[in-house]
């Protein structure tokens, strides 16, 4: 009976359509027999170099050139080559069979590698890399998409222009205006603010809002405990001040939770990791675990916050500078958004010199300006004594990959810190902010109602 390996190898020689579709996904290490792996190496090298399928004669000549075949192994590999015959096979079945073989072999090899790492026999990788290794193996698949043909795919492109994109709307008017209706899948949004300005508050508010909309929300925290994040969301959704939780009775609390659960079919999962201990590999493994154990698939994800994650690609040994490390983290977090087709919201700190500033720019991003190269949306949260006195916080658009920064480069939202809540303010205040932004390049004797704020 023909083995799967033999089936694959003979079709790589005689079936060009199969070879073109499967070759990018087959690895030499997948072959149990090392001689079959050597034969695959020669087939793959020939197709890559000459853009055509090799003949048995060509493979014979190439195999003779190899220095890793001796008097015993050379006749064996040649015997195996001569036994490969041209027999027709259904292409769809063949591709499915090969894909499953690749998946099975990838998982098997990943498990073996993880055992070596766990036993301390792999000096190059740490135990923290195990979730990422397993996740990558489980993700092996044949991607049949070969790119967008500009001319031939014009009709589908037009349909995409006229098709309304599924977005997750904010509950705040101006955030919807600047994002054209809400957050898009496969995007990374980062909030930039100084310590205490309201990064976590804003993320807890958005998480509360999306839960109220019936969405499944995953909140990953590396800064505060699961209970503290849950308390902030309780304050927002149950309309309780943070300082009043010690006063509320258990029955009143349970009544509020029951009333809330009757209004939404969404779920909120909060997962805590110690700072700088978890990376994208851990997050992906947890998302897959939630799907398996709780039938939970997130509609969006919060990561609180980006700078205190670890990188799955860089070992945490202090050899990498902050620019490289944090940029790598941002890229890995955004890859989760793409892989799982969800928006992700995270945050980052400003540099120390911007703590009391009434304006923010991209250059105020702490540790790594590389974050700004990766994100899709970046919003600065600005808090000053004047704004605090009227219970407001200013939002400044710093990056918008899918829209213009003007005319709503700056706007304000109300803030209720006791109840961890943001809210829309009067239109008159917004118009004053917009007018002030427009006057930046005009003579200095032109004043606005918000002349105390330095927006330059």
DSSP-assigned letters across all residues of 318-383: S-S-HHHHHHHHHHHHHHHHHHHT--EEEEEEBPGGGTT-S---GGGBSS-THHHHH-SEEEEEE-
pLDDT tens-digit map of 39-57: 999 999 999 999 899 999 9
Pair type for strands 410-416 and 392-400: antiparallel
Q: In the numeric block, which tokens belong to residue 179? A: 């994002």
My answer on whether 313 and 388 are in the same domain is yes
My answer on whether 95 and 215 are in the same domain is no
Q: Which residues contact residue 421 at a Cβ distance below 8 angstroms, ignoring those fewer than 6 apart?
A: 205, 208, 235, 236, 415
- Provide the 10 A C-beta neighbour count for residue 308: 20
My answer on whether 95 and 211 are in the same domain is no
pLDDT tens-digit map of 143-156: 666 678 888 889 88
Q: What is the mean pLDDT of each run of 10 residues along the chain (456 residues)?
A: 90 92 91 94 93 93 92 92 87 91 94 92 81 82 74 85 84 93 94 90 96 96 93 95 92 93 92 91 89 92 91 69 87 93 94 77 84 92 90 92 84 94 83 56 39 38
Q: In the numeric block, which tokens belong to residue 123? A: 């000096």
Selection from 451, 422, 424, 427 nearest residue 439 by Cα: 451
Q: Which residues contact residue 392 at a Cβ distance below 8 angstroms, ignoring those fewer than 6 apart?
A: 412, 413, 414, 415, 425, 429
| Domain end call among 91, 120, 138 | 138
My answer on whether 96 and 199 are in the same domain is no
DSSP-assigned letters across all residues of 38-96: HHHHHHHHHHHHHSSPPPHHHHHHHHHT-SS--TTHHHHHHHHHHT-------HHHHHH
My answer on whether 188 and 251 are in the same domain is yes
Question: Angle at the Cα of 352 (from 351 to 358), degrees rounded to 5?
Answer: 85
Selection from 278, 280, 266 nearest residue 339 by Cα: 280
* Residue 112 to residue 203: CA distance in whole angstroms: 40
Q: Is 167 a domain residue?
A: no
Report long-range pairs for 74-79 (Cβ below 8 Å, ≥24 apart): 76/35, 77/35, 77/38, 77/39
Residue 456's pLDDT is 37
* Residue 6 to residue 88: CA distance in whole angstroms: 14
Q: Is 152 a domain residue?
A: no
Q: Is 156 a domain residue?
A: no
My answer on whether 194 and 329 are in the same domain is yes
Q: In the numeric block, which tokens belong to residue 353? A: 């010199």
Structural domain boundaries enclosing 291: 173-441
CATH number at 65 reads: 1.10.860.10
My answer on whether 82 and 186 are in the same domain is no
My answer on whether 12 and 130 are in the same domain is yes
Residue 366's pLDDT is 82
Q: Is 456 a domain residue?
A: no
Residue 77's pLDDT is 92
Q: Is 420 a domain residue?
A: yes
* Residue 274 to residue 269: CA distance in whole angstroms: 17
Query: How many domains does the chain divide into?
Result: 2
My answer on whether 102 and 194 are in the same domain is no
Q: How many residues does the chain have?
A: 456
pLDDT tens-digit map of 376-393: 999 999 998 888 999 999
């Amino acid at each position: 009976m023909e083995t799967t390996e033999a089936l694959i190898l003979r079709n790589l020689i005689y079936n060009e359509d199969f070879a073109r579709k499967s070759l990018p996904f087959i690895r030499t290490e997948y072959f149990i027999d090392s001689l079959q792996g050597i034969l695959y190496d020669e087939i793959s090298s020939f197709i890559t170099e000459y853009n055509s399928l090799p003949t048995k004669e060509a493979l014979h000549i190439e195999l003779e050139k190899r220095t890793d075949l001796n008097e015993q192994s050379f006749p064996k590999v040649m015997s195996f080559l001569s036994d490969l015959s041209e027999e027709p096979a259904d292409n769809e079945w063949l591709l499915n069979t090969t894909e499953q073989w690749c998946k099975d072999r990838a998982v098997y090899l990943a498990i073996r590698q993880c055992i070596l790492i766990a036993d301390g026999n792999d000096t190059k990788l740490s135990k923290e890399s195990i979730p990422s290794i397993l996740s990558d193996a489980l993700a092996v698949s044949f991607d049949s998409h070969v790119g967008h043909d500009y001319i031939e795919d014009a009709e589908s492109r037009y349909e995409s222009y006229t098709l309304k994109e599924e977005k997750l709307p904010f509950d705040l008017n101006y955030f919807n205006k600047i994002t054209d209706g809400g957050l898009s899948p496969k995007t990374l949004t980062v909030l930039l603010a100084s310590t205490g300005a309201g990064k976590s508050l804003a993320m807890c508010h958005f998480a509360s809002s999306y839960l109220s909309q019936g969405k499944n929300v995953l909140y990953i925290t590396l800064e505060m405990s699961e209970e503290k994040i849950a308390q902030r969301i309780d304050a927002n959704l149950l309309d309780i001040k943070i300082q009043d939780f010690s006063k509320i009775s258990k029955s009143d609390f349970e009544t509020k939770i029951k009333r809330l659960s009757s209004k939404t079919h969404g779920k909120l999962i909060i997962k805590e990791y110690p700072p700088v201990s978890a990376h994208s590999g851990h997050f992906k493994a947890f998302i897959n675990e939630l799907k398996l154990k709780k039938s939970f698939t997130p509609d969006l994800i919060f990561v609180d916050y980006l700078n205190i994650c670890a990188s799955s690609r860089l070992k945490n040994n202090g050899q990498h500078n902050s620019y490289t490390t944090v940029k790598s983290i941002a890229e890995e977090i955004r890859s989760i958004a793409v892989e799982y087709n969800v928006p992700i919201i995270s945050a980052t700190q400003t540099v120390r010199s911007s703590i009391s500033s009434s304006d923010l720019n991209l250059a105020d991003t702490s540790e790594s300006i590389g974050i700004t190269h990766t994100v899709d949306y970046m919003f600065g949260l600005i808090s000053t004594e004047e704004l605090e006195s009227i219970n407001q916080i200013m939002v400044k658009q710093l990056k918008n990959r899918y829209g213009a920064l003007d005319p709503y480069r700056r706007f304000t939202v109300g803030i209720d810190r006791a109840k961890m809540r943001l809210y829309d303010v009067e239109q008159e205040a917004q118009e004053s902010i917009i007018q002030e932004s427009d006057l930046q390049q005009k003579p200095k004797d032109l004043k606005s109602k918000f002349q105390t704020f330095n927006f330059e």
